[in-house]
A and B are shown apart, each in its own frame.
Chain A
Amino acid sequence: MTSLPVSTSSAMPASAAPLRAAYSRAKVGMASLIFMESAFFGTFLVTYLYYIGKSPDGPQPLDCLELGPVTVNSVCLFASSATVVFAVKALARGAVAAFRTWLLITILLGLEFIVGTGLEWNTLINEKGLTIASNAFGTNYYSLVGFHAFHVIIGLLILIGILVLSLTGCIDPRRDHARIDVATWYWHFVDAVWIFVFALVYFIGRVPQDFVGHIPVGGGL
């Protein structure tokens, strides 16, 4: 572990640095949390992938899932990732009014996603007869999408909490913008997960049954 001598002209040798923490605790902690949640969602995604095309009976993905409503929901969710960035940027430059507006828009977009998902589930349950108990497709669909929606709700609660704090004047842009930035990472993570869920459920998984039967998914499983 020998290294060449670094410049010795400075008063303090290089090994004296760093006097300040190299990384913020909040950022590292949030990154670890997101890492952990990724493993959690990864399990559900892999399970979904494994069960594609393994439900001979009951409602089929091609018959049940419609691309129309979910595309609207997805656009709203992806857009909310952008608006929350605008909110944080507004807060960083001290524009509290703009911050609240963008945050409100973000929350409304997130609510749209939740309500849209609820309506979609309503259709699936009452019109298509797909429930968590009907077949492996239903089991996986409701678990995966449901857990994602659950995380969106948690993210929404965080955002609503921030908005309430801001409206009651508890947020000082200078002091708090870094913390709020870290809090919004969670929202971005929820959005990123949706990319995978959306692609898997509505594109990869929405293929004819007998065709899928020949895809050697998870060979030895």
Chain B
Amino acid sequence: MTTMSPHSTDETMKPLSFWESATRWTMSVDHKKLGLMYIAAGLVFFLIGGVEAALMRLQLARANAGIIDPETFNQLFTMHGTTMVFLVGMPVLLGFGNYLLPLMVGARDMAFPRLNAFGFWLFIFGGMLLYFSYVGSEGLYGAPGAPDVGWFAYAPLTSRTYSRGNSTDYWILGILISGIGSMTTAINFIATAICMRCPGMTLMRMPMISWMMLVVAALVLVAVPVLTAAQVMLLFDRSFGAHFFDPQTEGSAILWQHLFWFFGHPEVYILVLPAFGFVSEILPVFSRKPIFGYGLMVAATVGIGFIALGVWAHHMFVVGMGPTLDSFFAASTFLISVPTGIKIFNWIATMWGGRLRFHTPMLFVTGFIAMFVLGGLTGIMLATVPVDWQLSDSYFVVGHFHYVLFGGTVFGIFAAIFYWFPKATGKMLDDHLGKWSFWLLFIGFTLTFMPMHISGVLGMPRRIYTYEADRGFEIWNLISTIGVPIQMAGVALFLWNVVKSLRNGKPAGDDPWDGWTLEWATSSPPPEWNFDRIPTCTSARPLWDKKHPEDPDAHYE
């Protein structure tokens, strides 16, 4: 089934000089190279953001610690949040979309390959500008310093009065530039999913991940421009003395919150829907069953996309919006748990009665489901207005969204890396080391973030740089900090695994997992043109149909 015409091009044989390969990568408009560069750059930022988090945990390990001064601490949590959301989550997920979307819909490239490169480089330069603030900005007290206004940059902390110098401008511009990059990539995703599908691949035969990416792209196009507009307004406030967000001069600080969260909540789904896509691709393959309820999964995805646009103000219950708005946003937030719950049940039903194979990707996927459900449940708690009044801006919230974004998105990303690494490189990642990585990450993650719920309920506010000794926070914070080196060991092991496998990993072959989607129908790594012949498609599992002509899915559609 997997006979591929060998493209024994001579150039792959002889090693390239550093300069040659650098040019080849920087000038590339190939979606696979760009996707890998997205993921690699995202992982670099992941390490940076991780170090920032580790420093904060070090400071918080015991009461009244003085390792880090308050100003630096403010910069650390601002940069950690901004980095993880804009420079890790978005690019890694967009990178996977870039790599997988054309392969999975059977196309030779994205719809606009050059625009794709443009978006990638905007992300890189945006991230570089943001981090340039550490040396180039004029921060507090005139010395260079990173932005320190929190990742959601609430007004009026961002006004000229309270944020001297221009570090906040760096935050605005860095995110604005990379945001423009995300939007161009989203346009590309939509055009690719709609226009570039191979013959026979109707919309309802697209792999789940393509559906997720399509919905994510639509969300990016609705949400990110709102952030861009709000950031432009903030820039006007700071540069030209405009009056958008400064309450002392007719502006409205709450308007910033509305605009930011109108972006911010869809952003959460932008970050988690691609991970849903990874799960929906990996789970069936390792359960040896087709995805349960394909049509319902698609409907739930689109439903999440729509409802995600109407829940933003549940981040603002403590603002005092009044009972009407509070109840509306609480209700819409409860509503979004319905399509999300449908997905969880469909995943469980996919595993149910399947022949499960617990390789590393599957481990991460099951970890994803468990952790995401926990994060979702605390989310429902926080959507309840009175509970939110009690817990808002406490460590409970920090625990909640790390369960969703770390236990959810990051576990999904690791699952995807272990699953598609053989396709991208032709080498398998070491499964044994991978399982070690998983358990270290899982245990470290639980140690770090589970106690945060407790310290939050006990009343520990987020963003404080230290706390007093007699509040009952110490033991929980200590446990949280103990989890950090365990996670770091897991990540280090993963990096070692990547290096080791790239050097002398087991050859993967074209289809190591016995997959069903089109990316496994080409060689590993795929040639620049993806497919020697454009594939055709008769069902949602085109490769199954080709492998099992006696019992194709097409009979069951």
* Interchain CB contact under 8 A, B204 and A1: yes
Q: CB within 8 A of A32: which of B186, B202, B232, B252?
A: B186
* Interchain CB contact under 8 A, B243 and A39: no
Interface class of chain B by DSSP: helix
| B259 within 8 A of partner (CB) | yes
* Interchain CB contact under 8 A, B233 and A15: no
| B435 within 8 A of partner (CB) | no
Q: How far, in angstroms, from A68 to B217 measured CA to CA in the complex?
A: 42
Q: How far, in angstroms, from A39 to B190 measured CA to CA in the complex?
A: 16
| A139 within 8 A of partner (CB) | yes
Q: How far, in angstroms, from A2 to B554 measured CA to CA in the complex?
A: 10
Q: Give chain B residues whose Cβ lies under 8 Å from the Cβ of A140.
A: 244
Q: How far, in angstroms, from A56 to B241 measured CA to CA in the complex?
A: 17
* Interchain CB contact under 8 A, A25 and B111: yes
Chain A interface bracket (under 10, 10 to 19, 20 to 34, 35 or more) = 35 or more
* Interchain CB contact under 8 A, A139 and B187: no
* Interchain CB contact under 8 A, B252 and A221: yes
| A19 within 8 A of partner (CB) | yes
Q: Mark A15-48, 1 if CB is under 8 A from B, else 0.
A: 1111101111100110011011101101110010
Q: List 18 A-B contacts (CB under 8 A).
A: A15-B202, A15-B538, A21-B195, A21-B196, A22-B194, A23-B195, A29-B191, A32-B187, A32-B217, A36-B224, A40-B225, A42-B226, A43-B226, A47-B255, A132-B242, A133-B243, A136-B243, A139-B243
> Of all chain A residues, which has the CB nearest B200?
A15
* Interchain CB contact under 8 A, B242 and A139: yes
> Of all chain B residues, which has the CB nearest A29?
B191
> Of all chain A residues, which has the CB nearest B237?
A139
Q: Give chain A residues whose Cβ lies under 8 Å from the Cβ of B250.
A: 51, 54-57, 135-136
> Of all chain A residues, which has the CB nearest B325?
A220
* Interchain CB contact under 8 A, B322 and A36: no
| A50 within 8 A of partner (CB) | yes
Q: Give chain B residues whose Cβ lies under 8 Å from the Cβ of A51.
A: 250, 252
Q: Give chain A residues whose Cβ lies under 8 Å from the Cβ of B252.
A: 50-51, 221
* Interchain CB contact under 8 A, B183 and A22: no
| A143 within 8 A of partner (CB) | yes
* Interchain CB contact under 8 A, A29 and B112: yes
Min CB–CB distance A182 → chain B (angstroms): 12
| A219 within 8 A of partner (CB) | yes
Q: Give chain B residues whose Cβ lies under 8 Å from the Cβ of A143.
A: 232-233, 236, 242, 244
Q: Mark A92-112, 1 if CB is under 8 A from B, else 0.
A: 000000000000000000000
* Interchain CB contact under 8 A, A16 and B557: no
Min CB–CB distance A214 → chain B (angstroms): 18
> Of all chain A residues, which has the CB nearest B112?
A29
Give me the interface of B with A, judged by CB distance under 8 Å: 111-112, 115, 183, 186-188, 190-191, 194-196, 199-200, 202, 204, 217, 221-226, 228-230, 232-233, 236, 240-244, 250-252, 254-255, 258-259, 294-295, 321-322, 324-325, 536, 538, 554, 557
Interface class of chain A by DSSP: helix
Min CB–CB distance A30 → chain B (angstroms): 9
* Interchain CB contact under 8 A, B241 and A47: no
* Interchain CB contact under 8 A, B111 and A29: yes
Q: How far, in angstroms, from A1 to B183 measured CA to CA in the complex?
A: 34
Q: Give chain A residues whose Cβ lies under 8 Å from the Cβ of B325.
A: 219-220
> Of all chain B residues, which has the CB nearest A36?
B221
Q: CB within 8 A of A25: which of B195, B202, B294?
A: B195
Q: CB within 8 A of A36: which of B115, B225, B251, B538?
A: B225
Q: How far, in angstroms, from A43 to B20 measured CA to CA in the complex?
A: 45
Q: Give chain A residues whose Cβ lies under 8 Å from the Cβ of B295.
A: 1
Q: Give chain A residues whose Cβ lies under 8 Å from the Cβ of B204.
A: 1
> Of all chain A residues, which has the CB nearest B241?
A133
Ranked 3 nearest A-B pairs via Cβ: A43-B229, A133-B241, A40-B225
Min CB–CB distance B199 → chain A (angstroms): 5
Q: Give chain B residues whose Cβ lies under 8 Å from the Cβ of A42.
A: 226
Min CB–CB distance B109 → chain A (angstroms): 11
Q: CB within 8 A of B241: which of A18, A19, A132, A219?
A: A132
* Interchain CB contact under 8 A, B221 and A39: yes
